[in-house]
């Protein structure tokens, strides 16, 4: 038996809008289900059988798209910002479907950010059980001794619980501070910054340079590219079927 989904999620997965905007469409009486006006954005929908329309036009589920964005500093990872700051969506105007971030990067953090309209894939990649490695380059203030690095590797006690063990390498030290490579398999709010502060230093610059096997190679800062089917299949943890390969 197929699992039904909330109407707002169906509209979002169709690449039309965010779930919050889907709720506004329903409230504005612009959505019908099987010819009847929809009144509840949480109404359960069978995507294969139910006929969903917006402004009289039938909603078709968009093809899966996964976007790799080279995020610059100064952009927040949200659809809208109440303070009027630039968002990553300002850089994604040409993406053919509405996509949601796979995790977040804070305003001052740069680097690799994935966005997709496949919410199941997004959930898989952000679930700590998946152990998807995220590699960061962090320039931190001053010099970190071996004890501080060992603490980062073992795990740090933060206010939301202990972090998982991390891979940490000292790449170089200089007048500007210490450059570290940090590999995490979980993603908490401002995690790298909080871990570094817990060992007595402060992050001056932070960039995510890899997620799984994906890197920023060939993607200029502020630009994006769509992942190819093989890359998407790898994120799902499987190889593409021969029948899929013939669809290119």
Residues with a known catalytic role: 106
- Separation between Cα atoms, residue 43 and residue 154, nearest integer Å: 46
- Separation between Cα atoms, residue 80 and residue 10, nearest integer Å: 21
* b/e burial code for range 110-133 (CB count within 10 A of at least 16 → b): bbbbbbbbbeebbebbbeeeeebe
**Using an 8 Å Cβ cutoff, are 184 and 133 in contact?**
yes
- Separation between Cα atoms, residue 27 and residue 87, nearest integer Å: 26
C-alpha 44 chain-centroid distance: 26
CA distances to 16, 63, 67, 78, 142 from 117, in Å: 10, 8, 9, 15, 41
Both tokens assigned to 228:
């190819």
SS (H, E, C) 38-59: CCCCCCEECCCCCCEEECCEEC
């Amino acid at each position: 038996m197929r699992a039904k989904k909330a109407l707002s999620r169906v509209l979002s997965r169709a690449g039309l809008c965010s779930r919050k905007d889907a709720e506004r469409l329903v409230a504005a009486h612009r959505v019908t289900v099987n010819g009847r006006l929809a009144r509840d954005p949480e109404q359960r929908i069978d995507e294969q059988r139910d006929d969903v329309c917006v402004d009289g036009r039938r909603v078709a589920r968009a093809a899966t798209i996964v976007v790799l964005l080279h995020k610059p500093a100064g952009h927040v990872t949200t659809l809208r910002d109440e303070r009027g700051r630039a968002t990553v969506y300002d850089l994604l105007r040409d993406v053919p479907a509405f996509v949601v971030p796979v995790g977040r990067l804070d305003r001052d953090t740069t680097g690799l950010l994935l966005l997709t309209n496949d919410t199941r894939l997004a959930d898989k990649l952000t679930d700590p059980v998946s152990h998807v490695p995220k590699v960061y380059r962090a320039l931190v203030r001053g010099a970190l001794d071996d004890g501080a690095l060992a603490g980062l590797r073992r795990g740090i006690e933060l206010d939301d619980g202990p972090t998982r063990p991390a891979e940490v390498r000292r790449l170089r030290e200089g007048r500007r501070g210490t450059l570290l490579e940090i590999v995490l398999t979980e993603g908490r709010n401002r995690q790298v910054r909080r871990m570094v502060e817990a060992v007595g230093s402060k992050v001056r610059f932070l960039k995510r340079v890899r997620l799984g096997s994906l890197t920023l190679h060939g993607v200029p800062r502020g630009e994006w590219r769509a992942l190819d089917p093989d890359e998407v299949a790898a994120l799902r943890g499987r190889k593409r079927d021969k029948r899929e390969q013939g669809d290119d």
